[in-house]
């Protein structure tokens, strides 16, 4: 795995689903899995999926006598099909030939997927087949394949097939296969001109249109001789077959360029007309590649991060940045989308948007802040739906859905299949109300990094006030305790959704939720002083926030209840947690390995994970991840709890011993919270998080889509965690503690309209203050604050 490339040198069919997810190419507008051109979806090896940012559709299925509606990120027509056959024989299939050599390479610097094959068929004919593929970062509507077939010991006619296949369904995730997956209906297909075919489809419920036009050119040497083409079409499918006379040693060079438009596009008349018009304007593969490379180069200039001493970590971090930028990029602007937790790389979680943005935005805030702003608009536009949800539940303000898709309604499934037991079970994870706090936190973090007053004044402020209003109305006063409480919620740890034998979903006083609620309310109160008075007045009028509400906000921010375990300083994950049984970890780890989905395993054994002190992922520890100890102690102080920084390690230890890391997000948090106190353990957790997708550590989840939260989270761990980067009181604080395994770290961040370059070693840190708009910025290094002027460079000794 050299720095910029992921290379597979062997054809291993059982690893193909994982490779297809990891070799996905995309541009923030659409993405296509790294399936082979000649492959169509089958049960276990190939799954060529194409997904559009924001391309959702709803379908109803009858399950166990109930009608269930699910909203999916639709698998759109497959534009890849390109294959060949000898007359009267079967189409080329890797399974039917003897593979002499195989190489699949993802070139992240250029944004290319390259395959090089040499094979021998049953008639002893030897050939090479080389292909290069791109999904253009420069023109989001374009993708292209260069495909070269060279006969090594034979001559003769072959038939080349090039197609657009809209007969696909959503079937990429085994446990969803019982659900209706036929989202598309055929609208039109045919031939645009001799070398171009087209296809138009619509989603059956959301009525989105997608049109694709594919131009296929065949060259023998530099010439493109006139060739006989046969058109085949049926509803939702169009194909051209081209007869070519091959000569031993002479390469047949094919270029397939695809133009893709949808009814979600801006500045168009109608998708099919745009696709037909624009395909005629596209140049050759090499020309497209040149522009595509330029776009990637610009992105890497902003977003790369270099590490010395650790080539593997370097490549994997680049892979993570690469997939993040393929999911959201400048091409996403104007699309009204959020960041799907599993990227545009597969169908797990149906392309829904969760709280994972909390782990993703910090990277974007410091590199492509324009993009975070855009992604926050997705939430802003869905405020009416969040307000309606709050009202329906008996609250005021904005209650955002745990899983969000097209219009911001709750998309969490009502029942889900436990593949371990084969049973459909109620899914109560929708009670994760903490999602609304994550949105407010994201608004605040974006604002901290960019001081974007216009955004805060018009959108950010409204989000924060309305979310604060929600928290203040879901909180209830308990006169016995003299404190406010929050009932019937689920925390980030999804294993605990109810009290055993309670018969009711939800838990009381999840510590993370309660503290986040307080933080949102305190931030909303702070915002009153930051925004101008007239705007505050306008917003409060609009949202119906009264003086009485503000009084309640102040009361809650001083009297929210936080549970502790007995008389200890261990924050209790939720009220009643201490009464749960200890879990026999060793027994289960020996049987199932380190990372386990205990909820599924125990249910299949007739047991219930709710009974045990066993967490799926970091819950209480999220607090030490999101807040510096100074900030957290401040919150506790306001709440009149005596919680000191010295108690943090005890809390970490306690929950480390009771967490199964059934979510890839968990190791990020565990690494982060240990980064300062225990570098070795932090690094060990970091390593697992880093390998989450490349090695599919959860065993089979990555083929269904990458884990973008963990991907972005690992990059952010290096960027902020290991450098101690924090923005507090208008100062950019740095306090690096590099793990021993990293000897040199170099990257650039965008901070309040400036580019700041950081070079960190085990001993020193160099800060170079680059071009920018304003003149000076305050940077704090280990307690001292310095004013940096444009062009200034300073070096600091950081040995402890």
Binding segment toward ligand BGC, per CB under 6 A, in 147-155, 348-356, 376-384, 780-788: 348-356
410 binds ligand BGC (CB under 6 A): no
Q: Which of 673, 576, 666, 690 is nearest to 615 (CA)?
A: 666
Give whichever of 333 and 348 is closer to ligand BGC, judged by the CB atom: 348
- Please check whether residue 584 is in contact with residue 538, taking contact to mean a CB–CB distance below 8 angstroms: no
Give whichever of 49 and 662 is closer to ligand BGC, judged by the CB atom: 662
Contacts of 753-758 spanning 24+ positions with Cβ under 8 A: 753/450, 754/790, 756/732, 756/788, 758/723, 758/734
Binding segment toward ligand BGC, per CB under 6 A, in 129-137, 350-358, 526-534, 631-639: 350-358
CA 516, distance to chain mean position in Å, is 23
Site for ligand BGC in 670-729 (CB under 6 A): 709
Is 494 in the active site?
yes
- From the CA atom positions of the chain, what is the Rg in Å? 27
Q: Which helix (H) or strand (E) holds 101?
A: strand 98-107
Q: Report the b/e string of 492-516 with b at 16+ CB within 10 A.
A: bbbbbbbbeeeeebbbbbbbbbbbb
Compute the least distance from the CB of residue 664 to ligand BGC, in Å.
7
As a whole number of angstroms, the distance between CA 254 and CA 218 comes to 5
Give whichever of 83 and 663 is closer to ligand BGC, judged by the CB atom: 663
Compute the least distance from the CB of residue 331 to ligand BGC, in Å.
23
Which three-class secondary structure string do you get for 251-309? CEEEEEEEEEEECCCCCCCCHHHHHHHHHCCCCCHHHHHHHHHHHHHHHHHHHCEEEEC
Compute the least distance from the CB of residue 683 to ligand BGC, in Å.
23
Binder among 663, 692, 702, 719 for ligand BGC (CB under 6 A): 663
665 binds ligand BGC (CB under 6 A): yes
- How many angstroms separate the Cα of 35 from the Cα of each of 9, 49, 324? 16, 8, 19
Q: Per-residue x/- mask for ligand BGC, residues 298 to 337, rule CB under 6 A?
A: ----------------------------------------
As a whole number of angstroms, the distance between CA 728 and CA 115 comes to 48
Where do the H-state alpha helices sit in 593-731?
Answer: 598-604, 622-626, 629-638, 648-656, 665-674, 679-691, 708-716
Place of tokens 């933080």: 519
Compute the least distance from the CB of residue 403 to ligand BGC, in Å.
8
Rounded to 10 degrees, the C-alpha dihedral 615/620/621/625 comes to: 130
Catalytic residue among 494, 538, 547, 594: 494
As a whole number of angstroms, the distance between CA 21 and CA 705 comes to 6
Q: Per-residue x/- mask for ligand BGC, residues 472 to 511, rule CB under 6 A?
A: --------------------x-x-----------------
Compute the least distance from the CB of residue 20 to ligand BGC, in Å.
19
Give whichever of 353 and 386 is closer to ligand BGC, judged by the CB atom: 353
Number of residues that bind ligand BGC (CB under 6 A): 12
DSSP class of residue 497 equals: S
Compute the least distance from the CB of residue 64 to ligand BGC, in Å.
23
Compute the least distance from the CB of residue 382 to ligand BGC, in Å.
17
Give whichever of 279 and 358 is closer to ligand BGC, judged by the CB atom: 358
As a whole number of angstroms, the distance between CA 641 and CA 511 comes to 13
Give whichever of 505 and 724 is closer to ligand BGC, judged by the CB atom: 505
Q: Give 584's contacts (C-beta < 8 A, 6+ positions apart).
A: none
Binder among 47, 84, 349, 612 for ligand BGC (CB under 6 A): 349
Binder among 51, 79, 176, 355 for ligand BGC (CB under 6 A): 355
- Please check whether residue 561 is in contact with residue 508, taking contact to mean a CB–CB distance below 8 angstroms: no
Give whichever of 265 and 493 is closer to ligand BGC, judged by the CB atom: 493
Place of tokens 């972005």: 712
Residues paired with 117 in a beta bridge: 102, 129
Compute the least distance from the CB of residue 643 to ligand BGC, in Å.
25
Place of tokens 């051109």: 37
Dihedral pair phi/psi, residue 748, rounded to 5°: -115, 145
Give whichever of 233 and 599 is closer to ligand BGC, judged by the CB atom: 599
Give whichever of 341 and 682 is closer to ligand BGC, judged by the CB atom: 341
Interhelix angle 511-530/547-559, nearest 10 degrees: 130
Compute the least distance from the CB of residue 355 to ligand BGC, in Å.
5
As a whole number of angstroms, the distance between CA 419 and CA 100 comes to 38
Binder among 354, 574, 583, 625 for ligand BGC (CB under 6 A): 354
As a whole number of angstroms, the distance between CA 131 and CA 468 comes to 54
Compute the least distance from the CB of residue 494 to ligand BGC, in Å.
5
- How many angstroms separate the Cα of 294 from the Cα of each of 288, 290, 299, 301, 396? 10, 6, 9, 11, 49
Q: Which helix (H) or strand (E) holds 536?
A: helix 533-543
Give whichever of 326 and 663 is closer to ligand BGC, judged by the CB atom: 663
Site for ligand BGC in 521-550 (CB under 6 A): none
341 binds ligand BGC (CB under 6 A): yes
Binding segment toward ligand BGC, per CB under 6 A, in 347-355, 585-593, 653-661, 752-760: 347-355
- By residue count, the chain amounts to 800
Binding segment toward ligand BGC, per CB under 6 A, in 185-193, 354-362, 508-516, 569-577: 354-362
Site for ligand BGC in 165-184 (CB under 6 A): none
Upper half-sphere CA count for residue 651 (Cβ side, 13 Å): 25
466 binds ligand BGC (CB under 6 A): no
- Please check whether residue 201 is in contact with residue 235, taking contact to mean a CB–CB distance below 8 angstroms: no
Give whichever of 192 and 352 is closer to ligand BGC, judged by the CB atom: 352
Compute the least distance from the CB of residue 180 to ligand BGC, in Å.
23
As a whole number of angstroms, the distance between CA 109 and CA 719 comes to 20
Site for ligand BGC in 608-627 (CB under 6 A): 616-617
Compute the least distance from the CB of residue 453 to ligand BGC, in Å.
31
Binder among 38, 265, 356, 498 for ligand BGC (CB under 6 A): 356
Binding segment toward ligand BGC, per CB under 6 A, in 349-357, 469-477, 604-612, 675-683: 349-357
Give whichever of 437 and 665 is closer to ligand BGC, judged by the CB atom: 665
Q: Give 504's contacts (C-beta < 8 A, 6+ positions apart).
A: 488, 498
The contact set with ligand BGC (CB under 6 A) reads 341, 349, 354-356, 492, 494, 616-617, 663, 665, 709
Which residues are part of the catalytic machinery?
A: 494
């Amino acid at each position: 795995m050299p720095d910029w490339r992921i290379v597979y040198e062997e054809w291993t069919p059982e690893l193909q689903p994982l490779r297809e997810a990891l070799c996905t190419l995309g541009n923030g507008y659409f993405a296509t899995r790294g399936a082979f051109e000649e492959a169509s979806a089958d049960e276990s090896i190939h799954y060529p999926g194409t997904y559009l940012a924001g391309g959702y559709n709803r379908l109803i299925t009858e399950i166990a006598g109930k009608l269930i509606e699910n909203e999916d990120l639709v698998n759109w027509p497959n534009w890849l099909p390109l294959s060949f056959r000898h007359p009267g024989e079967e189409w080329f299939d890797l399974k039917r030939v003897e593979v002499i050599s195989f190489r699949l390479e993802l070139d992240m610097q250029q944004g290319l997927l390259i395959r090089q094959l040499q094979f021998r068929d049953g008639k002893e004919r030897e050939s090479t087949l080389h292909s290069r593929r791109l999904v253009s970062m420069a023109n989001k509507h374009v993708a292209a394949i260069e495909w070269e077939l060279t006969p090594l010991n034979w001559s003769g006619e072959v038939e080349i097939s090039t197609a657009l296949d809209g007969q696909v369904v959503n079937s990429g995730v085994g446990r969803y296969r019982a659900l209706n997956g036929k989202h598309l209906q055929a609208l039109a297909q045919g031939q645009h001109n001799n070398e171009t075919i087209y296809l138009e489809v619509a989603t059956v419920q959301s009525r989105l249109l997608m049109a694709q036009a594919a131009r296929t050119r065949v060259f023998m040497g530099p010439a493109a001789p006139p060739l006989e083409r046969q058109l085949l079409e049926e509803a939702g499918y169009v194909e051209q077959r081209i007869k070519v006379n091959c000569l031993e040693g002479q390469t047949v060079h094919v270029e397939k360029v695809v133009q893709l438009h949808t009814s979600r596009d801006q500045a168009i008349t109608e998708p099919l007309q745009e696709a037909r018009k624009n395909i005629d304007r596209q140049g050759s593969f090499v020309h497209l590649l040149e522009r595509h490379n330029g776009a990637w180069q610009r992105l890497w200039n902003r977003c790369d991060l270099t590490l010395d001493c650790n080539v593997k970590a370097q490549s994997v971090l680049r892979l993570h940045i690469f997939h993040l930028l393929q999911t959201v990029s400048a091409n996403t602007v104007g699309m009204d989308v959020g960041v799907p937790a599993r990227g545009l790389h597969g169908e797990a979680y149906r392309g829904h948007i969760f709280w994972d943005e909390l782990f993703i935005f910090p990277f974007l805030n410091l590199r492509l802040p324009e993009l975070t702003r855009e992604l926050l608009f997705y939430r802003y536009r869905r405020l009416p739906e969040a307000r309606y949800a709050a009202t329906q539940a008996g609250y005021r303000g904005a209650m955002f859905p745990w899983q969000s898709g097209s219009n911001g309604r709750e998309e969490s499934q009502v029942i889900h299949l436990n593949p371990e037991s084969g049973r459909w079970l109620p899914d109560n994870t929708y009670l994760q109300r903490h999602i609304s706090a994550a949105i407010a936190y994201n608004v605040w973090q974006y604002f901290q990094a960019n001081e974007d007053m216009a955004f805060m004044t018009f959108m950010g402020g409204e989000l924060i006030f309305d979310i604060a209003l929600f928290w203040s109305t879901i909180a209830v006063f308990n006169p016995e305790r003299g404190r406010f409480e929050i009932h019937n919620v689920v925390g980030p740890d999804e294993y605990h959704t109810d009290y055993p034998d309670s018969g009711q979903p939800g838990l009381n006083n999840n510590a993370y939720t309660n503290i986040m609620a307080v933080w949102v309310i305190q931030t909303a109160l702070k915002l009153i002083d930051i925004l101008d008075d007239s705007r505050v007045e306008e917003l409060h009028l609009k949202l119906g926030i009264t003086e009485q509400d503000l009084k309640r906000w102040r009361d809650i921010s001083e009297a929210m209840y936080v549970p502790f375990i007995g008389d200890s300083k261990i924050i209790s994950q939720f009220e009643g947690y201490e009464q749960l049984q200890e879990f026999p970890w060793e027994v289960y780890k020996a049987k199932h390995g380190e990372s386990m989905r205990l909820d599924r395993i125990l249910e299949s054994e007739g047991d219930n994970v709710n009974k045990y002190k066993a967490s799926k992922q970091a819950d209480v520890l999220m607090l030490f991840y999101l807040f510096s100890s100074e900030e957290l102690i401040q919150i506790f102080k306001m709440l009149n709890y005596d919680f000191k920084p010295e108690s943090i390690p005890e809390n970490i230890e306690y929950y480390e011993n009771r967490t199964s890391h059934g979510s890839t997000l968990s190791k990020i948090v565990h690494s982060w919270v240990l980064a300062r106190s225990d570098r070795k353990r932090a690094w060990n957790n970091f390593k697992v998080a880093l390998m989450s997708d490349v090695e599919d550590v959860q065993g089979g989840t990555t083929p269904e889509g990458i884990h973008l939260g963990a991907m972005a989270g690992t990059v952010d761990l290096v960027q902020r965690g290991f450098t101690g980067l924090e923005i507090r009181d208008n100062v950019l604080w740095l306090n690096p503690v590099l793990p021993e395994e990293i000897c040199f770290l170099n990257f650039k961040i965008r901070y309040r309209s400036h580019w700041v370059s950081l070079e960190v070693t085990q001993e020193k840190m160099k800060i170079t203050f680059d071009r920018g708009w304003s003149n000076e910025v305050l940077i704090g290094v280990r307690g001292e604050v310095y004013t940096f002027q444009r062009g200034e460079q300073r070096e600091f000794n950081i040995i402890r």
